[in-house]
């Protein structure tokens, strides 16, 4: 079985739109795929001080540093190099650990006197950091090496937003449409601005969008080299991209620490901060294929953000999701509370006992509850060995009416108003899906 990402073409269009509609009534459905993924549990603050979950979903023990040099063994052949290509050697392990002495620890790392961790965290590795100061507040196996899945698109976004003309129109190709994994629904002959491709990449994790973007950056190999150069320049030394999209490939790895570093850098780009905070946009269609008899024009469609934290957590700024068979669930996101902005990363998580976004929410609650001077390490600052303010971080834009987007009740109300009637569409889709299943 080849490693793949969840979803299929238009999984983030109709499927995610339906998910948002369902969330408006009861925030309990993951964005994509619309018919195949079990419903997510609504987020609730933790009620226990236990650091483990109910068996068999106990948090994996990493005290012995099992992932110090390499991610866990793959489950199939997706990382086997192409014929004639060498197997990548493990990346060197920096010593001392980047970010401070305690960042070299492999188990749970918390400040002295900190309360017990929240329950139900199945992620093998995670980290909570202050976006503005770079302080690392708590972590588990911060430099352990894992696969990033689509969270590596954060690095692709950094490269693309630095190099591409966002107003340039790109023509979709059959190669874009044929990529493996999650696709937003790019079609051959469709006309897309780079801004729209970035929407598809960041909001919907479209591998077809990643392909179209990489083609403009010199192709997959050149794009991966640029992504790795960005990681190295930020001292994200556990990170090596193998594909632009995050599909697993030879030598692919990152760490919870590095993913926080990459996300923090991306958050300095205003458009990235805007797009991870955007709930829904319209995406172009594409023309009929003359090679297909009786094919008709494919109209445009709305696409929705696939990050459930954005809809369900007060103060959520946005983030990026990921999944492959080998990486499991990966996640990076941020939220703001009382003037503080925290980021959380999860690697090799599971959908149980609660969804990754809900695990992230509990870790964010934990981070916000710590003392304002709590720290166990720091994210890199160029030319500095101390915790200092970073380059200015972009803030998500206000709502269209000019009001600040901070109150969850108002946030939910707007969604309910704009999504009225869509639950009916969800029901129709479910019935249609069941008919297809019966036919098979």
**Residues designated catalytic:** 150, 153, 205
Tokens linked to 221: 């190999």
8 Å CB contact between 153 and 246: yes
Cα–Cα distance, 154 to 383 (Å, whole number): 24
Greatest alpha-carbon span in the chain? 69
Cα–Cα distance, 317 to 150 (Å, whole number): 18
Helix runs in 180-240, H state only? 194-204, 207-216, 220-233
**Phi, psi angle pair for 161, to nearest 5°:** -70, -20
Q: Count other Cβ atoms within 10 Å, centred on residue 283.
A: 25
Give which of 349, 325, 236, 222 is closest to 333, Cα–Cα.
Answer: 349
Give which of 149, 109, 147 is closest to 363, Cα–Cα.
Answer: 109
8 Å CB contact between 264 and 379: yes
- Does residue 298 sit in helix, strand or coil? strand
Q: Which residue has the tokens 């981070």?
A: 367
| DSSP line for 327-362 | TEEEEEEEEEETTEEEEEEEEEE-SSSS-HHHHHHH
8 Å CB contact between 259 and 129: no
Through-space distance between the first and last CA atoms of the chain, rounded to whole angstroms: 20
């Amino acid at each position: 079985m080849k490693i793949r990402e969840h979803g299929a073409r238009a999984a983030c269009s109709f499927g995610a739109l339906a998910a948002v509609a369902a969330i408006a009534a009861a925030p309990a459905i993951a964005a994509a795929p619309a018919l195949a993924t079990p419903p997510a549990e609504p987020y609730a603050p933790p009620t226990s001080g236990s650091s483990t979950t109910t068996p068999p979903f106990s948090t994996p023990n990493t005290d012995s540093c099992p992932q110090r040099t390499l991610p866990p063994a793959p489950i199939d052949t997706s990382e086997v190099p192409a014929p004639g290509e060498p197997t990548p050697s493990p990346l060197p392990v920096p010593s001392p650990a980047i970010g401070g002495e305690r960042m070299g620890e492999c188990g749970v790392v918390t400040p002295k006197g900190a309360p017990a961790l929240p329950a139900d965290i199945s992620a093998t590795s995670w980290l909570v950091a202050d976006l503005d100061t770079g302080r690392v507040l708590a972590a588990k196996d911060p430099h352990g090496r894992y696969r990033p899945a689509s969270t590596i698109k954060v690095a692709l976004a950094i490269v693309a937003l630095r190099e591409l003309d966002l107003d340039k129109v790109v023509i979709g190709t059959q190669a874009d449409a044929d990529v493996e994994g999650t696709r937003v629904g790019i079609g051959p002959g469709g006309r897309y601005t780079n801004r729209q491709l970035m929407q598809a990449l960041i909001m919907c994790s479209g591998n077809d969008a990643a392909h179209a973007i990489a083609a403009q950056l010199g192709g997959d190999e050149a794009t991966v080299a640029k992504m790795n150069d960005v990681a190295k320049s930020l001292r994200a030394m556990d990170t090596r991209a193998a594909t632009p999209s995050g599909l697993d490939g030879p030598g692919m790895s990152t760490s919870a620490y590095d993913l926080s570093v990459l996300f923090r850098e991306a958050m300095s780009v205003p458009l990235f901060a805007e797009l991870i905070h955007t709930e829904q946009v319209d995406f172009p269609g594409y023309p009929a294929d003359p090679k297909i008899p009786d094919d008709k024009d494919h109209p445009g469609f709305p696409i929705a953000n696939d990050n459930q934290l954005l809809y369900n957590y007060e103060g959520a700024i946005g983030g990026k999701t990921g999944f492959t068979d080998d990486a499991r669930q990966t996640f990076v996101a941020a939220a703001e509370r009382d003037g503080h902005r925290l980021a959380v990363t999860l690697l090799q998580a599971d959908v149980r006992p609660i969804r990754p976004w809900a695990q992230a929410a509990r870790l964010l609650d934990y981070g916000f509850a710590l003392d304002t001077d709590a720290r166990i390490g720091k994210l890199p600052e160029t030319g500095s060995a101390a915790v200092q303010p970073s380059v200015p971080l972009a803030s998500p834009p206000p709502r269209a009416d000019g009001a600040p987007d901070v109150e969850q009740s108002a946030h939910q109300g707007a969604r309910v108003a704009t999504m009225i009637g869509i639950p009916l569409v969800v029901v129709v889709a479910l019935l249609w899906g069941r008919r297809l299943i019966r036919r098979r």
